[in-house]
Structure 1
Amino acid sequence: MMQLEGKIVVVTGGAGLLGQQFCGAIAAAGGLAVVADRDAEAAAAVAAAIGARHPGRAAACALDITRKDSIGAAIAALQQAHGRIDAVVNNAYPRNGRYGRLFEDVEYDDFCENVSLHVGGYFLVSQQFARFFRAQGHGNIVNMSSVYGVIAPRFSVYDGTTMTMPVEYAVIKSGVLHLTRYMAKYLKGTGIRVNAISPGGIFDGQPESFLEKYNALCSGKGMLDKQDVAGTLLFLLSDASAFINGQNITVDDGFSL
């Protein structure tokens, strides 16, 4: 039941760290993974690599989640090419060059821009795909949130490093969760499901001192590898989760307990 045989699944930010893993898992499960990214060359390269392993199960698509015309063009092209779209995964991670500062150093304009890019982009993608899904009669939206959309930051794990947990991130990811609930309720009865996944930290070369403190708060493994979230995504995209709607699944090896 976890198979996605023949399903057309769009993954925004598909050329990124998690996006590549998600697209590969979708293709391996029998679906067609649409690598949707504003970097068209990167999207094409990822789709080609996946296609080499799973022939005919990956396609590239240029898509900027902050532009309505870009989203509309992508939907139209996919409909023409495949006749339908079964799901979209909001996974892109847009931010400006000043993102990641300490709370007291964040400028108002940067805060607003980063929240707008990320939550606004998820809203815009969801709105435009929901319009298509309504006309189609079915659809599935999965939003990527974070454990820090569920709990308050544990700032102690960043002690002794140059890292922090940006205030924009906490606002964005908690906003994504309520956007998920709102849309699930608003779209109830239309054949469209909306759910979210909240991963814990994903390993990406973080300092050892940070990893030690982070891992000590987990149940066993600690910091996740990028492939550790893919199974939950496949579940939410598959018919195994047909009656799950408006929910958030936290995947964090117990970090939030």
Structure 2
Amino acid sequence: MMLKNKKILVVGAAGLLGATLVKELLAQGATVIAADISLDRLNSRLVGLGVAADNADVIRKQIDLANKTALTAMFTELDGLTGAVNCSYPRNKNYGKHFFDVLPEDFNENISLNLGSSFLFMQQCAAYFKRTEMPFSLVNISSVYGVVAPKFEIYDKTPMTMPVEYAAIKSGLIHMSKYVAKYVGDSRFRVNLVSPGGIFDHQPAEFLNAYKKETFGKGMLDVTDVLGSIVFLLSSMAEFVNGQNIVVDDGFSM
């Protein structure tokens, strides 16, 4: 078990990646604080994955990452944290439109909701480290589309697109993570990222087939394919890995 005696905070824990990660962290021996804006959704997702509602190694918390007062209070209450993973992806109801249909106010709101809350979360993680001076590993989730330009042709014949907000958020997150690691400048406080390729979530067959041709054979990732890199960065095996971005995409970005 790579994370025995570790205590990890996962925000966005009710999402596809977040909930699956909580289960894996438990299997790796960690105690987990699972936080999300919806406790009902969080509990339902975890139980659906086989994480019992009375599992003493999971502490469930409701949190709005855009609420500085609530987030600061949560970090004040927590003790013994050794790491955190931000799996959240807040957005408004108009998120995801095609480029020419995106209104500036929606673009600005989605950047603020997502990148703004990520900034606040990183700031509070850094403040927690400064207060406790305990080794701390923060892992942010970016994307292959934070690294390379979109391959728009794989969206042909589907109603899907690669949202411009997503590209701005995920690329910005990479640089902001490096900024925070450099600003704190202490080898005991690590900030790294994992950038997955596309994760399977019942997308249209046309898209799945086109996407697979851009990889070495895997195609869309299973959500479990991303977990190993996150666990590694949270573990003592990555003790001096800092400011790095691990791309997990089976060659999609090449």
Q: Distance in 1 between matches of 2:203 and 2:186?
A: 44
Deviations 1:51-98 (A, max 9, x none): 43994321201111111112122223323xxxx111111110100000
- Secondary structure (helix, strand or coil) at the match of 2:78 reads helix
- Secondary structure (helix, strand or coil) at the match of 1:96 reads coil
Q: How far off is 1:45 after superposition? A: 3.9
Counterpart of 2:19 in structure 1 is 20
Tell me, yes or no, if the aligned pair for 1:50 and 1:58 is still in contact at 8 Å.
no
- Give the gaps of 5 or more residues in structure 2: none
Alignment of 1:63-78 (within 5 A): 63-78=63-78
- State the AA in 2 paired with 1:126: M
Counterpart of 1:141 in structure 2 is 138
Q: Distance in 1 between matches of 2:72 and 2:31?
A: 19
Q: Distance in 2 between matches of 1:46 and 1:237?
A: 23
Q: 1:122 aligns with which of 118, 123, 126?
A: 118
CA shift in 2, pair 1:135/1:111, >3 Å: same
Residue 166 of structure 2 corresponds to residue 169 of structure 1: yes
Q: Distance in 2 between matches of 1:254 and 1:202?
A: 14
Counterpart of 2:148 in structure 1 is 151
- Secondary structure (helix, strand or coil) at the match of 1:133 reads helix
- Give the gaps of 5 or more residues in structure 1: none
Residue 52 of structure 2 corresponds to residue 52 of structure 1: yes
Q: 1:213 aligns with which of 210, 214, 235?
A: 210
Tell me, yes or no, if the aligned pair for 1:47 and 1:60 is still in contact at 8 Å.
no
Counterpart of 1:88 in structure 2 is 84
Aligned residues: 252
- Secondary structure (helix, strand or coil) at the match of 1:52 reads coil
Residue 252 of structure 2 corresponds to residue 255 of structure 1: yes
Tell me, yes or no, if the aligned pair for 2:5 and 2:29 is still in contact at 8 Å.
yes
Counterpart of 2:30 in structure 1 is 31
Q: How far off is 1:190 after superposition? A: 6.0
- Secondary structure (helix, strand or coil) at the match of 1:60 reads strand
Q: Distance in 2 between matches of 1:213 and 1:172?
A: 25
- State the AA in 2 paired with 1:169: Y
Q: Distance in 1 between matches of 2:110 and 2:31?
A: 31
Tell me, yes or no, if the aligned pair for 1:147 and 1:250 is still in contact at 8 Å.
yes
Identity among equivalent positions (%) equals 45
Tell me, yes or no, if the aligned pair for 1:27 and 1:57 is still in contact at 8 Å.
yes
- Secondary structure (helix, strand or coil) at the match of 1:223 reads coil
Q: How far off is 1:46 after superposition? A: 4.4
State the TM-score, normalized to the length of structure 2. 0.95
Q: Distance in 1 between matches of 2:203 and 2:43?
A: 28
- Secondary structure (helix, strand or coil) at the match of 1:214 reads helix
- Secondary structure (helix, strand or coil) at the match of 2:192 reads strand
Q: How far off is 1:219 after superposition? A: 0.8
CA RMSD of aligned residues (A): 1.6
Tell me, yes or no, if the aligned pair for 1:66 and 1:121 is still in contact at 8 Å.
yes
CA shift in 2, pair 1:252/1:60, >3 Å: same
Tell me, yes or no, if the aligned pair for 1:196 and 1:247 is still in contact at 8 Å.
yes
Query: Which piece of structure 1 moves more, 182-191 or 29-38?
Result: 182-191
Query: Which piece of structure 1 moves more, 134-143 or 210-219?
Result: 134-143
